[in-house]
Amino acid sequence: MPWDPLTDPVDYFTLAGLKSPGFAELTGASSPRKWEERGGYGLSGATVVFRGVGLCYFTFKIKLYTEEDWADWIGWKALVDRPPFGVRPKANDIVHPFLDQLGVTAAVVEEVSQPEQGEAGEWIISIKFIEFRRPKAALAKPEAAKDTPLTPREQQIVAAEKEFNDLLAEQ
């Protein structure tokens, strides 16, 4: 059964297996797709070519309310601190039900804000993440939603391509 935020709300995420402190709110997560539009000179319309799935950029706002939340933050923040100069930063496993639905399983830290006081007296720290995913080949043309009839000129081109391919097969 899929996760239901109404009956089972989640106010935290895990990074490298450690639960985030305070109350965590996820914003901006999405599943972007990259498309290239290819049109011709003097032509109306275009073909779109799928160029792969883009990386997900998202933010967690951590809200700290109590002394215990602050103590937990101090212990947890090493996961999102800047790496020392000369040390390569690493991606960490990240888990939250909405990220699971988008297929996001690892991320790198893009930016950590200073603590800012909110209206309700809480302290808010925003952490921006970028999904980490190794590249995979993904170039493809989408199929049309429904077949559109070919123009007479397009029919001639299709016939010529078939004739050409048949001649190549005979050799």
Domains of the chain as residue ranges with CATH = 14-146 (2.40.30)
Instruction: Please choose, from the candidates 11, 56, 27, the residue with its C-alpha nearest in 3D space to the C-alpha of residue 127.
Output: 27
Q: Please, which residues bridge with residue 84 across strands?
A: none
**Confidence at residue 141, expressed as pLDDT on a 0 to 100 scale:** 61
The predicted model scores a pTM of 0.76
Helix or strand or coil: residue 136? coil
Per-residue pLDDT reduced to its tens digit, 82-121: 999 999 999 999 999 999 999 999 999 999 999 999 988 8
Measured CA angle at 27 (ends 24, 33), to 5 deg: 140
